[in-house]
Amino acid sequence: MTVAAEAIWLAPEPGLRASWRRFRRNHAALAGLVLVSVVLAAALFGPSVAPSDPLAGSLDARHQGISGDHWLGTDALGRDQLARILHGARVSVLTAVLLMSIILVIATVVGVAAGYAGGLLDATLMRVVDVVLAFPSFILALAITGVLGVGLDKVLIALGAVWWAGFARVIRGQVVAVRERGFIDAAEASGGTQLSIVRRHVLPHVAGVILVLGTLDVGSIILALAGLSFLGFGQQPPDPEWGRMLFDAKPYLQTQPLEMIVPGSAIAITVLGFNLLGDGLRDAFDPAGSAR
Amino acid sequence: MALLEVNDLTTTFATDRGPVRACDGVSFEVERGEVLGIVGESGSGKTIAALSVMGLVPPPGVIERGSIRFDGEELRGAPEHRYRDLRGRQIGMVFQDAGRALDPVHTVRSHLREASGRQDDHGALLQRVGLDADLLDRYPYQLSGGQRQRVMIAIAIARDPALIIADEPTTAVDALTQVALLAELMRLRHELGAALILVSHNLGLISRVADRVAVMYLGQILELSPTAELVREPGHPYSAALLRATVPLDGDGTRLEGVGGNPDSLLDPPSGCVFSRRCPHADDSCAMSRPALVATAPGRHSACHHLDRFAEATRGVGYGS
């Protein structure tokens, strides 16, 4: 009783405004926001500002270093690296963000249904999750791609099929915790339907966690996407994709390291940005937990 | 026909150590406009009785047998959507701790909108419970405990229910606020003409406002009597013990007495009368068979084997004597 009362008293000021205030004071989070904004802008507008056609190669201009004509050099086929990075951002970043949104929707539906309904539905859904989680996700995605065949769409399906499970488990846990709080009982006692209670009293309490999880893991999705492309499963040549660019540059690592450094840095910067942003969001939404 | 008729209500929880009967053959009625107090120690089953009426028994609890008739309609086994129509509209509920029962991400206005189903007029609703309309856009954490509890009451009465169930509505606030809240609740109940079930461990509090009192122990009603009579002349040894442990308003310096013994556990209920292990009047027959709740006088019911002997011994125990 007293414990509950104190917890309420000490609880941080809720609300988006307070979260934003905490976020704004966090320099790492702001840096993450800037990086993510730059990367997203590059993905959205990059193709229209790219200096040249990412597919047009010139055998006279192979393996060139940084120059006025080619700011980030050229690759083995003489294609402009900057143009390929900007065009590749579409695939590497936008697709990853889109895929993450779809994954979050699936995971939220499953997690909320399991956590709120409980009982048999909960047990069934969570056993499915257990099965998916029993395999290392990257290996499982690799196996699914092996069955489906190569291509960007197949890789996205494979990643989505393995990635939702972990999120669903975490979201379910959050929903179970929220369900224990008195206001769910109170909402039921005043005649709310299950759907309205989920919408009004459950989702707002798990939205922060979902957003944080998603942001933190976009980096991993980008890495996985690049990884699968690097292995030759994802985006097929000649279309540019960061992981594929790494793969193509591999033979020339010793002589032309720039060709690998450019896409590698693009991936690293993007992943760093999303991680910083995700950490910042987590601290902003859950200041009590950030001390852990 | 009474507004609410509960008959032989038995609510059981399956636990690792066997089934626990949180309510064991509970029967009572609530007339329209009546205030029924349910009093008992922690674990006596009073809250579960209230939740059973609302159809909100938390899992793994189930209503094993009995009937709950509201306005003549049998609720036991009623489909969930029927219950949803009753909750909030016909039966309003006030919870113990408004700090927990209000959702921290919603403003007072948002809570009232949900409870009333109306888009405006929330200020008037707040004023009815004695709060300023300018609190509408506050979040629960910006309110005091008393204000939160008043918001809870506003939620419960938002749709003019015929029955209000208040589970320890004033336990989470200080003594002065408690009195003010209770007065507010009684005034509103009177305005609405609603019946009220007031659940509390505080017999002193209940005896000031209830028309009748049901005394519960270990899931059973041991006495059900008009308040004035119960207070003047308790009809059960447990009621008498509770009265002796209650701080009278006009305290005359007499020492309070504890009930004696420790509360029994529902996991290991005494055979026979549930109060037999703690009762000063108990003998072998009390441990043997369970006394039924029977009428002892007009309007009075008691479950005791030795009412005669006990009545002799405790005459003059109550407040009014």
> Which DSSP string do the residues of B139-200 spell out, in sequence order?
-GGGS-HHHHHHHHHHHHHTT--SEEEEESTTTTS-HHHHHHHHHHHHHHHHHHT-EEEEEE
- Among A160-174, B154-168, B171-185, the minimum mean pLDDT is found in B171-185
Nearest-CB residue to B141 (from A4, A14, A118)? A14
Distance separating alpha carbons of residues B122 and B160, to the nearest angstrom: 14
Does A189 contact B139 at a Cβ distance shorter than 8 Å? no
Contact B101 A13 (CB under 8 A): no
Most trustworthy range by pLDDT among A99-108, A151-160, B52-61, B217-226: A99-108
A132-136, B31-35, B140-144, B266-270: least confidently modelled range: B266-270
Q: Identify all chain A residues contacting B95, using CB atoms and an 8 Å cutoff.
A: 182, 185-186, 189
pLDDT at A172: 95
Q: Which of B87, B105, B158 sits opposite A189 (nearest CB)?
A: B87
Interface residues of chain B, partner chain A, Cβ below 8 Å: 54, 56, 58-59, 84-89, 92-93, 95, 97, 99-106, 114-115, 139, 141, 145, 152, 155-156, 158, 172
Among partner residues A13, A192, A204, which is closest to B114 by beta-carbon distance? A192
Q: State the burial class of residue B53 (Cβ atoms within 10 Å of its Cβ: 0-12, 13-18, 19+).
A: buried
Average pLDDT along chain B: 84
> Would you call B87 and A201 a contact, using CB atoms and an 8 Å cutoff?
no
Task: State the average pLDDT over residues B142-149.
Answer: 87
CB-based contacts of B152, cutoff 8 Å, min separation 6: A186, B94, B95, B98, B101, B102, B169
What is the pLDDT confidence band of residue A6, given thresholds at 50, 70 and 90?
A: very low
Report pLDDT digits (tens) over A88-136: 888 888 888 999 999 999 999 999 999 998 889 999 999 999 999 998 8
Which whole number is the average pLDDT over B135-151? 88
Rama region for A249: left / alpha / beta (φ>0; ψ in -120 to 50; rest):
alpha
pLDDT band at A58 (very low <50, low <70, confident <90, very high): confident
Smallest Cα distance from A9 to chain B, Å: 8
3-state SS assignment for residue A99: helix
CB contact under 8 A, A118 and B114: no
The pLDDT score that the predictor gives to residue B37 is 92
**Cβ contacts (< 8 Å) between A201 and chain B: which residues?**
103, 106
Average pLDDT over every residue of A240-253? 85
* Contact by Cβ (8 Å): B25, B197: no
Tell me if A13 and B141 make a contact (CB, 8 A cut-off): yes
User: Residue A80: is its pLDDT beyond 50?
Assistant: yes
- Residues A159 and A138: their CA atoms lie apart, in Å, by 8
Is residue A35 over pLDDT 90?
Answer: yes
Greater model confidence, A74 or B159: B159
* A179-188 average pLDDT score: 87
Q: Which residue spans within A101-224 are E strands per DSSP?
A: none
Chain A CA closest to residue B88: A190
Flag whether pLDDT at A191 surpasses 70. Answer: yes
Please give the Cα distance from A131 to B52 (Å, whole number).
38
Most confident of A267-276, B114-123, B296-305: A267-276
Contact state of B95 with A186 under an 8 Å Cβ cutoff: yes
Q: Which helix (H) or strand (E) segment is A27 a member of?
A: helix A27-49
Closest partner CB to A183 (pick from B56, B100, B158): B100
Chain B interface, mutation test: which of A183, A201, A285, most B Cβ atoms within 10 Å?
A183
Q: For position B34, what pLDDT does the model report?
A: 92
Query: What is the rounded CA–CA span in Å between residue A39 and residue B88?
Result: 51
Lookup: tokens for B163? 């029955």
- Coil, helix or strand at residue B216: strand
| Cα atoms in the 13 Å half-sphere on the side-chain side of B246 | 25
Residues B201 and B39 sit within 8 Å (Cβ to Cβ): yes
Q: Which residue of B has its CA nearest to A204?
A: B105
What does pLDDT average to over chain A? Answer: 84
Chain B residues with CB inside 8 Å of A179's CB?
none
pTM: 0.77
With a cut of 80, say whether residue B316 has pLDDT above it.
no
DSSP state of B202: -
Which one is predicted more confidently, B314 or A279?
A279
Q: Please tell me which of the candidates B86, B141, B172 has its beta carbon nearest to residue A11.
A: B141
Question: pLDDT-based confidence at B314, cuts 50/70/90?
Answer: low
From B154, which residue of chain A is nearest by alpha-carbon distance?
A: A190
Query: What is the pLDDT averaged over residues B11-18?
Result: 87
Give Cβ neighbours of residue A279 (< 8 Å, ≥ 6 apart): A28, A29, A32, A216
Write out chain A residues lying below 8 Å of B61, CB-based.
none
Going by DSSP bridges, is the β-strand pair B91-94/B212-217 parallel, antiparallel, or unpaired?
unpaired
> Per mean pLDDT, which range of A196-210, B72-86, B187-201, B272-286 is the poorest?
B272-286
With cut-offs at 50, 70 and 90, classify the pLDDT of residue B199.
Answer: very high
Instruction: Give CA–CA dist B149/B147, Å, rounded.
Output: 5
Question: Distance (Å, rounded) from C-alpha A249 to C-alpha A126?
Answer: 42
Helix and strand element counts for chain A (H, E): 13, 0
Judge contact between A18 and A38, C-beta under 8 A: no
- Of residues A52 and B72, more confidently modeled: B72
Quick one: what percent of chain A has pLDDT higher than 70?
92
Instruction: Give the neighbor-by-neighbor strand order of the sheet with B4-15.
Output: B18-30, B4-15, B61-70, B73-74
Residue B132: phi, psi to the nearest 5?
A: -75, 140
pLDDT tier, A15 (very low <50, low <70, confident <90, very high otherwise):
low
Tell me yes or no: is domain A14-49+68-291 CATH 3.40.50.12280.
no
Q: Which of A7-16, A68-77, A257-266, B208-217 has the lowest mean pLDDT?
A: A7-16
Report the percent of chain A where pLDDT is more than 90: 25
Q: Which amino acid is at B203?
A: L
Candidates B89, B139, B156; nearest CB to A15: B139
Boundaries of every domain in chain A = 14-49+68-291
Please say whether the beta carbons of A95 and A87 come within 8 A: no
Q: Please give, rounded to a whole number of angstroms, the shortest distance from the CA of A186 to a CA of chain B.
A: 5
Are A14 and B105 a contacting pair at CB < 8 A?
Answer: yes
CA-nearest of B306, B217, B241, B293 to B29 is B293
At A2 the pLDDT is: 41
Q: Using the beta-carbon criterion (under 8 Å), do A200 and B97 form an inter-chain contact?
A: no
> Is the pLDDT at B177 greater than 60, yes or no?
yes
Residue B250 confidence (pLDDT): 63
Instruction: Report pLDDT for B252.
Output: 64
Residue A234 CB neighbours (<10 A): 30
Nearest to B84 among A118, A191, A200 (CB): A191
Percent residues over pLDDT 70 in chain B:
93
The three-state secondary structure class of A133 is helix
- Type of residue at B18: G
Question: What is the band of B134 on the pLDDT scale with cuts at 50, 70, 90?
Answer: confident
Interface predicted TM-score (ipTM): 0.77
The more confidently predicted of residues A10 and B196 is B196
Residues of A in contact with B93 (CB under 8 A): 186, 189-190
DSSP conformation class of B275: T
Residue A292 has pLDDT above 70, yes or no: no
Give the Cβ contact number of residue B255 at 10 Å: 5
User: What is the mean pLDDT of the segment spanning B260-288?
Assistant: 79
pLDDT for the residue A11: 45
Q: Residue A59 carries which DSSP code?
A: G
pLDDT of residue B257: 73
Q: Could you count the other beta carbons within 10 Å of the beta carbon of residue B59?
A: 9
Which residues in A have their CB inside 8 Å of a CB on B? 1, 4-5, 8, 11, 13-15, 118-119, 181-183, 185-193, 196, 200-201, 204-205
By CA distance, what is B50's nearest residue in A? Answer: A189
Which has more pLDDT, B260 or B201? B201
pLDDT at A121: 93
Instruction: Indicate if the pLDDT at residue A272 is higher than 80.
Output: yes
The confidence band for A13, taking pLDDT boundaries of 50, 70 and 90, is low
